[in-house]
Amino acid sequence: MSYLKKYEEWILNSYFDEDTKNELKSIGDNQREIEERFYKDLEFGTGGLRGIIGAGTNRMNKYNVRKATQGFANYILNSVENSKNRGVVIAFDSRHKSPEFAKEAAKVLAGNDIKAYVFESLRSTPELSFAVRYLGAAGGIVVTASHNPPEYNGYKVYGEDGGQLVPRYANMVIDEIRKIEDYSSVQYLEEEDAKADGLINIIGEDIDKKYIDMVKSLSLRKDIIKGMKDFKIVYTPLHGTGAMPVKRVLTEIGFKNFFPVKEQEVPDSDFSTVESPNPEESKAFDMAISLAEEVGADIIIGTDPDCDRVGAVVKNRDGRYQVLTGNQTGALLVNYILSSMDSIPENSVVIKTIVTSELGSSIAKEYGVETINTLTGFKFIGEKIKEFEEKGNRNFIIGYEESYGYLVGTDVRDKDAVVSSLLIAEMAAYYKSKNMTLLDALEDLYKKHGYYKEALKSIVLKGKEGLEKIDMIMDGLRNTPPLEIFNIKVEIIRDYLNGRANLILENEQKELDLPKSNVLHFTLEDGSWFAVRPSGTEPKIKIYFSVVGEKDVEAEKKLDRIRGQVLKIIDSIE
């Protein structure tokens, strides 16, 4: 069916409400907008839905939420034992339409005779993962678009292990969704009837307390916290779900000087005090830095709207606050955790993604700990934890990715900014007790392991033309790969979509042991590397760069040269 036929169907079909029809009628003279909304169905990727809120098959709206939930319901009814009684947990964040979309999901589950456990108000993504495991549920749903702009919302699904569905299971959900050709065929029960039948259940404080207690149990040096009475923390939840759990954990564990950014404690669907509610963006910390300068904070911590990502800011030698990268924080946490353990169990493992710095791997190796790489996406880290649990052959220490996601402990199976906030604050307090900052600790790691420098370039390419351009870039690099970057030969090209590593200098190929994904990873002869992949959640293509040098300046120059030439190559692809 053409996009115009789909547009007309939504206007004429009595199933769609008048508000939806009026919205669509208002764009009747805008063919480009109609095409954008209807040229495809909003894709249910391996993590779920994410898109701009609005009417249309390619938008986030209650009809697409219902359809996705029906597909998920069909999947768990067919695949998960006793799924009706075990139920599905639903959480939502502070975004536009999040509470409404959560209710729609609950009513569809109820229509399929599946219990829904819905949080009474906004809760973090990691608490959703915890609740699935704690309640023994058949799965979970969280309504969030993470750190996307305010016009977006999203919908992620979780398996019975509390982790996001990995591709082989997500594809089963996708197959079920594709079978639904008529929106009106979705099973649905009104809220009052569902509650009367015990199919919609409201949860809250009981789960909160269990989750908070679990987080506090992961503290490594409670004695340090008690002894650092002058240690000061500034915290911002960036208008999201972190305000309650992060404040509660840090104050209950013993941090006395906790300063929230008041303006950003309030849930705000427009994220009106920031350009982007993303701790990866340094500007997101502007208000927090102002407060930190006022109170003399030792550390600034910021979490994204669904509180699964966390950023840290510390004072440098010039007295200015400096944002740590995700790679830097990850390396510091690996070192802090391993150095704090009385004894490291045999077969201990650190897990990171293929686009994350190798500094953490080098640190882990020093402690005799293996590092395992996964594809980008924390679901793959959660999958490994599940595998270790089932086989009983590995001890999980920490999982992390460069995009500000970290997990310690196994009660949650997704990145957890509440746990990470606790450990970052505790780590900073520990180093302060030694008259050091986290930057001093990082410098020590660089001197021992080499100066690792990383960069990320994200190119935004929106709409249908943007998707075509992203495909063109990936095809160009795949079909005509660069074999030399700034006089440094490319040694290995790993094509995760084709599942092969091309060892250029040896003129041979090897099979890759990771699932297929549209990622290209180029390793240079000197150990530097860059990787290119389309974003799974935003209209972007991402280019990652990493180098290592014996000196700081040397590494920075090498990074600039490699980044410059790679971007020129990408820019030239037509």
pLDDT, tens digit (0-9, with 9 covering 90-100), for 174-210: 999 999 999 999 999 999 999 999 999 999 999 999 9
Which CATH fold topology does 451-571 show? TATA-Binding Protein (3.30.310)
pLDDT at 346 (0 to 100): 94
What is the rounded distance in angstroms from the CA atom of residue 183 to the CA atom of residue 380?
32
Question: Tokens 């030239």 sit at which residue?
Answer: 572
What is the rounded distance in angstroms from the CA atom of residue 111 to the CA atom of residue 116?
10
Answer whether CATH 3.90.180.10 is correct for domain 227-319+416-449: no
pLDDT at 319 (0 to 100): 87
Question: Tokens 């690099």 sit at which residue?
Answer: 477
In the chain, residues under CATH classification 3.40.120.10 are 42-207, 227-319+416-449, 324-408
Low-confidence ranges of the chain (pLDDT < 50): none
- Catalytic site residues? 146
At the second CATH level, the architecture of 42-207 is 3-Layer(aba) Sandwich (3.40)
Torsion sign (Cα): 390, 123, 323, 537 = positive
Which CATH fold topology does 324-408 show? Alpha-D-Glucose-1,6-Bisphosphate; Chain A, domain 3 (3.40.120)
pLDDT at 505 (0 to 100): 87
Helices (H), 60-204: 62-79, 83-86, 98-111, 125-135, 167-178, 191-196
pLDDT digits (tens, 9 = 90+) for 202-241: 999 999 999 999 999 999 999 999 888 899 999 999 999 9
Could you give the C-alpha distances from 89 to 116, 138, 245, in angstroms and in order? 6, 8, 18
pLDDT at 46 (0 to 100): 63
pTM of the model as a whole? 0.94
3-state SS record for 491-539 = EEEEECCCCEEEECCCCEEEECCCCCCCCEEEEECCCCEEEEEECCCCC
